[in-house]
Chains A and B, each alone.
Chain A
Amino acid sequence: MSNKMTGAQAVLESLKREGVDVVFGLPGGVLLPLYDAIYQSDLHHILVRHEQGAAHMADGYARATGKVGVCIATSGPGATNLVTGIANAYMDSVPMVAITGQVNTWLIGKDAFQEADITGITLPITKHNYLLRSAKDITRVFREAFYIARTGRPGPVLIDLPRDVTVDEVEFTWPEVSLPGYHPSFKAHEMQIKKAAKALMEAERPVIYVGGGVKYAAAHRELYSLATKINAPVTTTLMGIGCFPEDHPLSLGMLGMHGTKYANYAIQESDLILAVGARFDDRVTGKISSFAPRAKIVHIDVDPAEVGKNVRVDIPVVGDAKNALEGLEKEVSPKPKGAWNEKIDGWRKDHPLTYIPDMTIIKPQYVIEKLCELAPDAIITTEVGQNQMWAAQFFVHKDPQKFISSGGLGTMGYGFPAAIGAKMGRPECEVIDIAGDGSFLMNSQELATAVVNDIPVKIAILNNGCLGMVRQWQELFFEKRYSATILGRTSPDFVKLAEAYGAVGLRATKPSEVEPVIRAALATDRPTLMDFIVNPAEKVSPMVPAGATISEILELEWCDEGHIGHLEKHYSDQRKAIFGEEGC
Chain B
Amino acid sequence: MRHTIAVIVENKSGVLTRIAGLFSRRSFNIDGLSVGATDNPEYSRMTITVEGDDEVLEQVIKQLSKLINVIRVTELVPAESVERELAVIKVTADKDSRSEIMQIVNIFRAKIIDVSARSMIIEVTGDEEKINAIVQLLRQFGIKEMARTGKVSMIRGARVIKA
- Interface of A with B (CB < 8 Å)? 119-120, 123-124, 127-128, 131, 148, 179-182, 303-305, 308-309
Do A148 and B62 touch across chains, with their CB atoms under 8 A apart? no
In the complex, what residues of A have CB within 8 A of residue B25's CB? 124
In the complex, what residues of B have CB within 8 A of residue A127's CB? 68
Do B163 and A180 touch across chains, with their CB atoms under 8 A apart? yes
CA distance A308 to B163 in the complex (A): 27
In the complex, what residues of A have CB within 8 A of residue B18's CB? 123
CA distance A128 to B10 in the complex (A): 14
Contact of A305 with B59 at beta-carbon distance under 8 Å, contacts A124-B25, A181-B67, A181-B70 already known: yes
User: What are 10 A-to-B residue pairs whose CB atoms are below 8 Å?
Assistant: A123-B17, A124-B21, A124-B25, A148-B68, A179-B68, A180-B71, A181-B70, A304-B65, A308-B58, A308-B59
Residue in B14, B17, B55 whose Cβ sees the most chain A Cβ within 10 Å:
B14
Number of A-B contacts defined by CB within 8 Å = 37
Do A309 and B59 touch across chains, with their CB atoms under 8 A apart? yes
Top 3 nearest A-B pairs (CB, nearest first) are A305-B62, A128-B68, A181-B71
CA distance A120 to B16 in the complex (A): 12
CA distance A119 to B18 in the complex (A): 10
CA distance A179 to B163 in the complex (A): 12
CA distance A128 to B15 in the complex (A): 11
Interface check B66, CB cutoff 8 A? yes
What does the 1/0 interface line of B52-88 toward A look like (CB < 8 Å)?
0001001100110111111100000000000000000
In the complex, what residues of B have CB within 8 A of residue A309's CB? 59
Do B17 and A304 touch across chains, with their CB atoms under 8 A apart? no
In the complex, what residues of B have CB within 8 A of residue A181's CB? 9-10, 67-71
- Besides A123-B21, A179-B68, 7 other A-B contacts (C-beta < 8 A): A123-B18, A131-B14, A181-B10, A181-B70, A182-B68, A303-B66, A304-B62
Contact of A305 with B21 at beta-carbon distance under 8 Å, contacts A180-B10, A181-B69 already known: no
CA distance A128 to B66 in the complex (A): 10
Interface residues of B in 123-149 (CB under 8 A from A): none
Do B68 and A305 touch across chains, with their CB atoms under 8 A apart? no
Q: Nearest-CB distance from A509 to chain B (Å)? A: 47
Q: Which residue of B lies closest to A128 (CB)?
A: B68
CA distance A180 to B58 in the complex (A): 22
Do A119 and B14 touch across chains, with their CB atoms under 8 A apart? yes
Q: Which residue of B lies closest to A133 (CB)?
A: B13
In the complex, what residues of B have CB within 8 A of residue A179's CB? 68
Interface residues of B in 8-39 (CB under 8 A from A): 9-10, 14, 17-18, 21-22, 25
Q: Which residue of B lies closest to A305 (CB)?
A: B62
CA distance A305 to B67 in the complex (A): 11
CB within 8 A of B17: which of A120, A128, A180, A182? A120
Q: Which residue of B lies closest to A184 (CB)?
A: B66
In the complex, what residues of A have CB within 8 A of residue B163's CB? 180
In the complex, what residues of A have CB within 8 A of residue B17's CB? 120, 123
In the complex, what residues of A have CB within 8 A of residue B71's CB? 180-181
In the complex, what residues of B have CB within 8 A of residue A131's CB? 14
Q: Nearest-CB distance from B90 to chain A (Å)? A: 34
Q: Nearest-CB distance from B57 to chain A (Å)? A: 11
CA distance A100 to B67 in the complex (A): 21
Q: Which residue of B lies closest to A183 (CB)?
A: B65
CA distance A124 to B66 in the complex (A): 12
In the complex, what residues of B have CB within 8 A of residue A123's CB? 17-18, 21
Q: Which residue of B lies closest to A306 (CB)?
A: B62
Q: Which residue of A lies closest to B43 (CB)?
A: A180
Do B66 and A305 touch across chains, with their CB atoms under 8 A apart? yes
CA distance A127 to B10 in the complex (A): 16
Residue in A124, A180, A309 whose Cβ sees the most chain B Cβ within 10 Å:
A180
Q: Nearest-CB distance from B28 to chain A (Å)? A: 12
In the complex, what residues of B have CB within 8 A of residue A305's CB? 59, 62-63, 65-66
CA distance A91 to B22 in the complex (A): 15
What does the 1/0 interface line of B86-122 toward A look like (CB < 8 Å)?
0000000000000000000000000000000000000
CA distance A514 to B65 in the complex (A): 53
In the complex, what residues of A have CB within 8 A of residue B70's CB? 181
Q: Which residue of B lies closest to A124 (CB)?
A: B25
Q: Which residue of A lies closest to B8 (CB)?
A: A181
CA distance A119 to B62 in the complex (A): 23
CB within 8 A of A308: which of B9, B21, B55? B55
CA distance A120 to B70 in the complex (A): 18
Q: Which residue of B lies closest to A125 (CB)?
A: B25
